[in-house]
Structure 1
Amino acid sequence: MLPSTVFPDLKDRSVLITGGGSGIGASLTEGFVRQGARVAFIDIAEAPSLALVEQLEQKYGNRPLYLNTDLRDIDALRKAVAEAEAAHGAITVLINNAAWDDRHEIEAVTEDYWNLNQSINLRPQFFAVQAVLPGMKKAGGGAIVNFTSVSFMMNQGDLPVYTAAKAGVIGLTKGLAGKLGIDKIRVNAIAPGWVMTERQKELWATPEGMKAHIGKQSLKEEIQPDDMVGPCLFLASDAARMLTAQTLIVDGGYL
């Protein structure tokens, strides 16, 4: 369930969300559309993204802009940012959500696999920021929210290349925040716990595993994609005006 809170300053803001067509990203896209923002989202999966656009327009009368883009292609990412700015004006909220949490064994990782993983989970976050910066600075400031994960904080061992990237997201967040504060640009991160997206349920979430995981949470419920929306809206809004360089852990109290 999406949060009922309304952040008036988000209305008509130009928002760009990466990986906004499914999972957590689709909930984020809907959350910002519901606030009345002018939302553009990037996703490589065309069919679910187009379906989401139609669904949200019918539901809210606010049509998001879908940008079919492979974030591994930095030139394509820059073109997508330019297209979003042409449609909605300078981007003043950037949500770096896209990720690929493929499981892998240490022995099986090749140099090509390492580079592929980082090219999805870490590299685009920096280059998306770089691409929106001129417009965001000209607009007088903005908010950037980078998605990391609690996986590296809990020593999860079955995806070490991914956890390396997600740890890097926090370093990137703090470094950007230290540099961009003078431009009135806030940079924060969200670290989700085990969120029950369709992908998680299809590939990894067994009843036994979920029971054990929820048993270690303080809040004894499954975490849903919609549960990431409120924290993200807060960090993007003026309610978090003096909050930067922080990582907000949203894991039901697992840690």
Structure 2
Amino acid sequence: MSETAPRFAAYPSLKGRSVFITGGGSGIGESLVRHFCAQGSRVAFVDIAEAPSRRLVEDIAAAGDPAPLFVPCDLRDVEALKAAVATAAEHNGPIGVLCNNAGNDDRHQTEDVTTAYWDDRMAVNLRHQFFAAQTVRPYMKALGGGSIINFGSITWMVGDPDCPAYVTAKAAVWGLTRALAREFGPERIRVNCMAPGWVMTERQVKLWLTPAGEKQIAERQCLPDRLQPADIARMALFLASDDSLMCSSQQFIVDGGWV
């Protein structure tokens, strides 16, 4: 059964809606792109990796869903990000949904962190979320509302010890969400935070799903199944749709019950 199989919800309000997704070329972002396209949304996404992103566009078009617009972009370049948002709005119409998904959880130890590496981790995992939200706000205001979904992580809640700069950035995403939700709320722009658990993306499986990792999941996750990118995408669909019209300034944890 495909990850966008009919047994899952369809949201009429997402059909034709302009959606902008960061980091959409692989992993969770790829699943977001596929799911929104399957809903009939007009999707644009950015990613630094061009080859897999272009293959994704081809795959979706071949499947018969509306093909997304791919704009190559290194999100550390804020001006390039702003230009990509403008291109997406010109192509798909005013943006009504922003999925601030892009990030990188490379492992590191405190003694190895330099100021340059720290600043880069903030740029990769936090800074672009603010500027993407800042840039889409006028479009959403003109539409009479919108949905911004910032992607955090459960890592800061559980205190993962092997990526302190990443953990710090993801904790800050929650603070950013609360601040923007309060500021943007009068314009009916909803801002929520998604906090995924250990999602079995290709990268995670390849780099870190060791026997010790499997043991950790078995011990700490309440549900026995492995968390998949589609599990995150389906929650994002709900938060983007009109079904969640009164949900804002909240954190939605999808982690299989990590304790």
Q: In the alignment, what sits opposite 2:137?
A: 133
| 1:7 aligned partner | 11
Distance 1:239 1:109 in 2: 43
Alignment of 1:115-130 (within 5 A): 115-130=119-134
Q: CA deviation at 1:212?
A: 2.3
1:211 Cα deviation from its structure 2 partner: 2.6
Q: 1:252 to 1:61 in 2, by over 3 A?
A: closer
Cα-to-partner distance string for 1:157-205 (whole Å, 9 max, x where unaligned): 1000000000000000000000111000000011000001111111111
> What's the TM-score, normalizing by structure 1?
0.98
CA drift at 1:71: 0.3
In the TM superposition, what is the alpha-carbon distance from 1:104 to its structure 2 partner?
0.5
CA-to-partner distance for each residue in 1:7-65, whole Å, 9 max, x for gaps?
Answer: 00000000000000100000000000000000000100000000000000111331100
More displaced, 211-220 or 94-103?
211-220
1:218 Cα offset (Å): 1.1
Structure 1 distance, partners of 2:135, 2:214, is 39
Aligned to 2:204: 200
CA distance in 1, matches of 2:80, 2:249: 28
Q: Return the alpha-carbon distance in structure 2 between the equivalents of residues 207 and 79 of structure 1.
A: 44
**What TM-score, normalized to structure 2?**
0.97
1:29 aligns with 2:33: yes
Alignment-mate amino acid for residue 194 of structure 1: W
Match of 2:246 among 242, 246, 255: 242
1:2·1:229 contact (CA, 8 Å) conserved in 2? no
**CA–CA distance in 2 between the matches of 1:214 and 1:89?**
45
CA contact (8 A) 1:2 1:227 kept: no
**How many Å apart are 1:215 and its aligned residue?**
2.5
Any residues of structure 2 matched to 1:47-58 within 5 Å, and which? 47-58=51-62
Unmatched 5+ stretches in structure 1: none
Task: Return the alpha-carbon distance in structure 1 between the equivalents of residues 106 and 221 of structure 2.
Answer: 23
Q: Could you report, residue by residue, the CA deviation over 1:92-131 in whole angstroms, capped at 9, with x for unpaired residues?
A: 0000000010100101100000000000100000000111
C-alpha distance in 2 between matches for 1:240 and 1:210: 34
RMSD of aligned residue pairs (Cα, Å): 0.9
Residue in structure 2 matching 1:100, options 98, 101, 104: 104
Measured after TM superposition, the shift of residue 135 of structure 1 is 1.1
What is the percent sequence identity of the aligned residues? 52
Q: Give the one of 169, 173, 176 matched to 2:173.
A: 169
Q: Does structure 2 retain, via aligned residues, the 8 Å contact 1:214–1:222?
A: no
Equivalent residue for 2:66? 62
Are 1:33 and 1:60, in contact at CA under 8 Å, matched by a contact in 2?
Answer: no
Alignment size in residue pairs: 255
CA distance in 1, matches of 2:111, 2:212: 27
Q: In 2, are the aligned partners of 1:214 and 1:221 still within 8 Å (CA)?
A: no
One of 83, 101, 113 as aligned partner of 1:109: 113
Q: Where in structure 2 are there 5+ consecutive unaligned residues?
A: none
8 Å CA contact 2:18, 2:97 repeated in 1: yes
3-state SS in 2 of match to 1:122: helix
Mapped to 2, the partners of 1:5 and 1:114 lie a distance apart of: 40
Using the alignment, how far apart are the partners of 1:153 and 1:2 within structure 2? 30
Structure 1 counterpart SS, 2:111: helix
Secondary structure at the residue paired with 2:116? helix
Residue 17 of structure 1 pairs with residue 25 of structure 2: no
1:86 to 90, 93, 110: 90
Task: Quote the Cα distance in structure 2 between the aligned partners of 1:2 and 1:103.
Answer: 32
